[in-house]
Each structure stands twice: as C-alpha cells, then as structure tokens.
Amino acid sequence: MNTISLSIKDLLDDKVYGLDLKLFAGEKGLSHRLYSSRIQKPGLALTGYTEHLHPDRLQVLGNTEISYLRQIPEESAVLYIEKLCTFPISSFIVTKGLNPPGFLKKAAEDAGIPLLGTPHQSSTFISLITKFLEETLLPTTHIHGVLVDVLGVGVLLLGKSGIGKSECALDLVIRGHRLVADDIIHVKKKMPAALVGQAAETIQYHMEIRGLGIINIKDLYGVSSIREKKIIDMVLELVDWDPEQEYDRLGIDDRVYTILGVELPHLMIPVRPGRNLTSIIEVAARNFLLKGMGYYSARDFHEKLLARMDVRPLGNEVE
C-alpha cells in the first residue's frame, strides 16, 4: 500500500482545488487517513449488500442515493446505514448541496465517521476530488539535477556536482529551449507510468552558475524560456571522460534509468574540453522524437552494414 496519506481534515482545509466542503457530523473522525485516490458511490451497499464495499475510499452520496434513503421506510434506511457504519468508512460526502437525513447524521456521529457536504454536482465533485487525491497521494521523490524542455522532450540532466549541468541548461535556454528546474527537482509519478518534474517553489526559475551566482531565467529571457512542470522523457548523465572506459559508439543497445518504478531511456555522455554538449543534447532529443515515430538510426545503420558484409543478423539463421 502507498505510504503517502492525508487526513479528512486536509480535505476540509483545501483552498486550491475548490472542493468547498463542510462538516455535518463525525468530527472525531477527521483524523482518518486516505491512502487511495479512488472514490466509490456505495450503491447496493445502501440496500444491505456490502460485498464490494471499499471502506478505505471516500463514499460519495449524490441525489440518487439520498433520494433512495428518503423514499424507503425509515426503519429499513436506519438499519442499512447502521450496518454500513460498522465498516471503517473513511468518510461520507454528500453532493449537490443536499441536507443529509437525520438518521445518517446520527449514525455517522455515533460511529465517528466524518459526514461532509459540498454544493458541487456529483460528477463535478468526483472530478475535483480525484485530481486533488492524485496530486497529493501519488509517489514522489527528489532528484539532484537539471530538467529542461528540449523540442518538447523532457530531458533530465544528471551528473556529479560541478560537471556542467547548469551551464548546459543555460546554453539550451539561449538556443530557445526551456528551463523547468535546476538543482533540486520534485518528481511525481502520474499513473500509469509517467513522471512529472518541477522545481521547488523557493528556487523556481532560478539557476546557479559558478562565477556568476544565482540568476533568474524568467527575468533574463522571458516567460517563453521557462516551464512550471514537464513530463520526464529521457535521462542524460554527464560523466567525466575516461580514456580507459569503453563508451557506446553505435547506440544499438537501449539503456534504462529507473525512477519510482518507471524506466526511462538513459544515455551516458562523456565530458571533456572541446565537446559541444549542448548540440549533443539537442541531437539526443531529436533522436528520441525519431524513435517515437519508429525510426532507429543506429539499428538501420547496423542492418545496412550487416547486409553490406553479407552477414545475417543474429536470430535470423535459416536451418
């Protein structure tokens, strides 16, 4: 289970997503924790059938559910609600500005289950609360590096301190590309398998250049030079040039770098005086876009070379 959680009180305190919640009953249950971004409408659970009830999810009661509870005999409604409240329900939320029946308020209060209300329609509220929970509960991590948007490709630059990541990013900005984050990158996993990076609020749009100090990219180059967040598409790791190290010269084998369980294309770029790293990064981004369209330059070249040498690729031997 995801260890990231938030309390029901956090929903009440929201001022950003416009949940607009108020408390009807069950104040002592505001410390209940949510671990899932999924919600549930109880449906048949209001008739006593609780086989597929997920008490860990928010239970949303709309016009249909409240109307049903008001139309059936009150004795039956009380019995069903009391049975429902025997489960460790995280919270009930009544939509459309409806006033919950008194027996629902009493059962929630007695069981210590927060009963909240919102003026939003059910569909609108479900959309808002799902976005809120996904933003809050999905796995996150922090990475030391630089994230830039190069030709629409989210390029994460990694490497030891002082190797030139920020200088590369600055040169890319000068060439018309966009800075997302420098130094500390907040990375959040979006389902099913996307990673979104952004800068910490205190250092957003800023970059540290040794010899110059802290500069503000937005002020220097305008709003077209920055992005608030970007999906990370590939990882480029800058490493010191080692003459004894054998570097990939063909690019046939795909290397991956794993962050929060998501595998990203990974390239290792050796750094030494005279190498134009900015151009190399641009070419890497363009090559990534080509691969997305099904064009693999290295493999095409390798196949043509084998054909020229009249050698069959491995795995294609004819017995």
pLDDT digits (tens, 9 = 90+) for 111-131: 999 999 999 999 999 999 998
In the set 142, 144, 175, 275, the catalytic residue is: 144
pLDDT tens, residue by residue, 4-19: 889 999 999 988 889 9
**How is residue 288 written in tokens?**
């990534």
pLDDT for res 191:
74
Q: Which residues pair with 157 in a beta bridge?
A: 146, 236
Catalytic residue list contains 149: no
In the set 32, 57, 120, 165, the catalytic residue is: 165
Catalytic residue list contains 178: no
Catalytic residue list contains 165: yes
In the set 54, 183, 229, 255, the catalytic residue is: 183
Mean pLDDT of the chain: 89
Dump strand ranges (E) for the chain: 6-7, 22-25, 33-34, 39-40, 58-61, 92-94, 115-117, 140-150, 153-158, 178-190, 194-199, 206-209, 213-216, 229-231, 234-240, 256-259, 262-271
> Which carries the bigger pLDDT value, residue 36 or residue 110?
110
Name the pTM for this structure. 0.68
> Which carries the bigger pLDDT value, residue 311 or residue 208?
208
Q: Residue 139 — very low, low, confident or very high, per pLDDT cuts 50/70/90?
A: confident
Q: Residue 318 — very low, low, confident or very high, per pLDDT cuts 50/70/90?
A: very low
Dump strand ranges (E) for 62-128: 92-94, 115-117
Mean pLDDT of 30-50: 91
In the set 249, 253, 308, 310, the catalytic residue is: 249
Tokens 């962050």 appear where? 259
pLDDT for res 192:
78
**What percentage of the chain exceeds 90 in pLDDT?**
67
Mean pLDDT of 130-143: 88
Catalytic residue list contains 144: yes
pLDDT for res 190:
84
